[in-house]
Amino acid sequence: MNLKKYENLKRENKDLINLNPLQTGGKLTGNAKKVLVEFGDGYAVYDLSPGLELMEVPLIKEFINEALPKFLGADIVRIILGAREGIFNVMHSITKPGDTILVDANRHYTTITAAERANLTVVEVPNSGEPEYKINAEDYEYLIKKHKPAMILLTYPDGNYGNLPDAKKLGAIAKRHQVPYLISGAYAVGRMPISMREIGADFIIGSSQKSMASSGSIGVLGMDKKWEKIMLRKSKRYPKIEIEFLGSELRGTAIATLMASFPAVAERVNNWGKEVEKVQWFSKEMEKLGLKQAGDKPHKHDLLFFKADPFYKISLKHSRGRFFLYHELKKRGITGIKPGLTKHFKISTYGIPKEKLQHVINAFKEILDK
Ligand SMILES: *Cc1c(COP(=O)(O)O)cnc(C)c1O
């Protein structure tokens, strides 16, 4: 077996305009790129302050105990391995096997796998169906009364339609019924302003490689201080060690990149209004081409879902079949729609300048006209 092939890994399409929702919010800042190389060696973060445990390094301590709680509107923050692991950490700590939990039907699949790993029964709050797929906060209330769930989860926004349900209204419902409430914010934290406290949630989760301009795999978990004893319960053998996080999930290179990008991330959420204006303009232009945007309208988030019948019709006759769209876009310097998708696809406009988005619209138009 030739092992040499592993040595020079290269990215495809790296310099194209990338519309992949998974990737638009994770691009490193210039500073984070430098830090990535500086701290690329395993456990190099220990060199920040030789001799100290990571949580005792003053810069890291301040970042986790002050900067992140303020950013998330939370009392306590822990670094997690990613959004899915954080969702599991909360489920595992605050529920018992066999409990029922309530989640929105637009949830990420990892919400379900986390619940399965924690041996929970999941009840889904349905969405409104075509074309908006809305989650109605009020719909939780009846199901809370019916199932007495151990916790409720709201995906804000969801990763299919980019819908932003009324999270605050659900916060009031959760308080009224005294049920723990988790905001699954992988596409919110780091992109848009969001405050766990204002929403009235008990927990908030972000995915740093997805939306906080960080290398993976890392995320943030914010919580209300009333959960401290349960979430941060300690080992019997090692009285300082937090069991749920197996000591610490803060270990590698990713935290260095998360910290280096953070000043820019904290700043960029203030430009959210501009991002929303841009996405609404983009959606209108795409609809002029005969595509249909599903989800909230007017849209309030950069993640868009399009039903694209005109492209689907072309794919039925094209020599490259359903892969034609990917190739035609690539020829025009655009990537991020999954190869083979034409009937419907997701794209994100986050952080992409309007001129480049105009180029994208022109490209779609050209492909249609051809
Ligand atoms: C991407 C995503 C996740 C998973 O995030 P990871 O950090 O990769 O675990 C979970 N929930 C939602 C809503 C997502 O969009």
Residue 251 has pLDDT above 90, yes or no: no
pLDDT digits (tens, 9 = 90+) for 270-318: 999 999 999 999 999 999 999 999 999 999 999 999 999 999 999 999 9
Give the amino acid at 193: P
Q: Where in the chain is the domain with CATH 3.90.1150.10?
A: 8-25+270-369
The finding on whether 335 has its CB within 6 A of some atom of ligand 1 is: no
Pairwise CA distance, residues 210 & 27, whole Å: 9
All residues at 6 or more sequence positions from 320 whose CB lies less than 8 Å from its CB, including other chains: 327
The answer to whether the predicted template modeling score (pTM) of the entire model surpasses 0.85 is yes
Q: 338 CA to middle of ligand 1, Å?
A: 18
pLDDT (tens digit per residue) in 78-100: 999 999 999 999 999 999 999 99
Strand partners, 103: 124, 153
Mean of per-residue pLDDT scores for the chain: 97
CB 346 within 8 A of CB 305: yes
What's the rounded Cα separation, in Å, for the pair 357 and 278?
9
Does the 30-268 domain belong in CATH 3.40.640.10? yes
pLDDT at 252: 87
8-25+270-369 CATH choice from 3.40.50.970, 3.40.50.720, 3.90.1150.10, 3.30.420.40: 3.90.1150.10
Please name the amino acid found at residue 301. Answer: H
CATH 3.40.640.10 maps onto the chain at 30-268
Pairwise CA distance, residues 191 & 270, whole Å: 9
Candidate from 108, 209, 211, 249 with most ligand 1 atoms within 8 A of CB, to mutate = 108
What is the 185 CA–ligand 1 centroid distance (Å)? 8
